[in-house]
Structure 1
């Protein structure tokens, strides 16, 4: 969502030329008019207005650049991708990651912070988010005044106004401490569910590029789903599309616990039972995290492989239910867990039911790793910046 009101009146030609420039490297007025369908005079007028607003820069002409042969050299232009910056934030359960990027989404600087799980309140979390943003800006040699748009992802449903509904334990309110207000110093503010931003990332640069119907399944410590249908990211009345509480009632899943948590819990349970073989017994309980268990499975440890098969069966059931609800072409397992989840995905593929009414979706692992949410947040911030920049900077006279 954006903090801005509706757009002021301005020539639509400025929006058209700016959209063309954002998707181009350098261009001439002829290039722009051929793409936009505007007249030459209208194109030149809009281009000059955008230069005056600081959104486009005029490049040296072909003669000065050494490319001129004969005739009058055409004026050349390019987006000023350094005219402002955008910020992407992954405000997770246990961490905050911030990336500062230019208007094309190229990262300039970043900063991170760790949180103690379930030991922070809303105010403290908001302060950590703000401090991490300021540190990232300082690393880039910038300040808040250089920012055009901020997008933050949180592990909670988020409605169209950027706020989260009340949760029985106030978990959602703590995960999203009214960040739309905390970040209101930025001209454009967008708050989204973290799995939704994972879906944005997968569709922009990840495993769902070119796909119009897919789900990004954040599957680390908790499950969350970003759902894209017919090319549109779904939200719902309260932002609850993709919330996984329904899996409390699904046999073999029983809750929204993530794949990583399930793998580590099963490994610790096996060790405590005394039934583990030498491989798992040789690892301290506190060190039996998901990465360790999945790594051991990849190396052929028998106990770890059985755990992977059990987690894969759970994933297959999750994918089957999501497939029947949303009919996606693809489900992408995303998040930090995806770095070592290939064995689980393979086990899930083997366990997918063959008697579903709809074809089972393709199941793949993400290649974006633990940065998927912040990558999606930057992409979403760029999209919001494109949409609202002329509202922020005003239309040229």
Structure 2
């Protein structure tokens, strides 16, 4: 089988696709990813082909902002989000994508939930496609506008939109919004925190078994009577605001307040920042921390960062949120834009963590939330329940086999 994954050119959209892409690859299928050429190094390391089409996210945001007057990342109002994903990106990517995909000749296109190029490509090539969610269901106030806007792009090319054959869903029922009803074509697929390409068992059944064992341990620890004692006197806290939202101007005040509540911090730097960019008391010009309570990490797979941490302070990207909860860890979510407010609401509603909304007192509120997570075991217990449900969801390997067996055997010339 030839499986083409399609993604908006952003790590938060692409990385959640990789476990299923690896699973198809490990079955012996030919796998490629349709996205901007800038992701070639990441995909080369995976041994996955890149089908390059369209500009990078910064170009798309600039053009969408020119069209709408709104930064869709920082101000995710429905009309701006619709233009970015279903207007600007399709206009600047679709035709090149169809030509490139035609050369690859896929038997199935798997598009992440906010990718509108992949489904159009599938319609043009007359092949089935699947939609892969990356978090809780996106509200209709956003999706309705996107589908309405992209309809004209199909019409301009003499195409008709075709419903997805499968809705691949990594989000457990416990995290779906109230009143949500699963679509008839839903196929659940277990979410995983991003792993490096050389991680033992990455994308394999053995890897899934190892994760299940880790989840079982997390559940046992969370419901034990001496949870606080188990965590130790100084909890270890991961602070990660993803690849694009880790602005030192935003994070530095938060880190300064967290240092006052007796925790050790592991802080991710995103794609461009350095440790020296965080001007914290006790650091020299190179960003060296004399107190030893902060460790800065460059871009690192989330699975590695989650080892030996007690909880996570994050912007609330969907992949990060599901990855953290799959390991039974509670969160403090500080949304910055995009869909992060949806994740923050879900985390707050389910008691798996604390949502901190924008405002002048964010650093102090985050520090107080960290103290609460340290002292109140109910958050860890709720996170462990979510992790236990995630552990029952079919693995990417199982889902890849199910999808492949449902497709007709391709006829190759």
TM-score, normalised via structure 1 length: 0.31
The structure carrying a bigger strand percent of its residues is 1
Structure with larger Rg: 1
TM-score, normalised via structure 2 length: 0.30
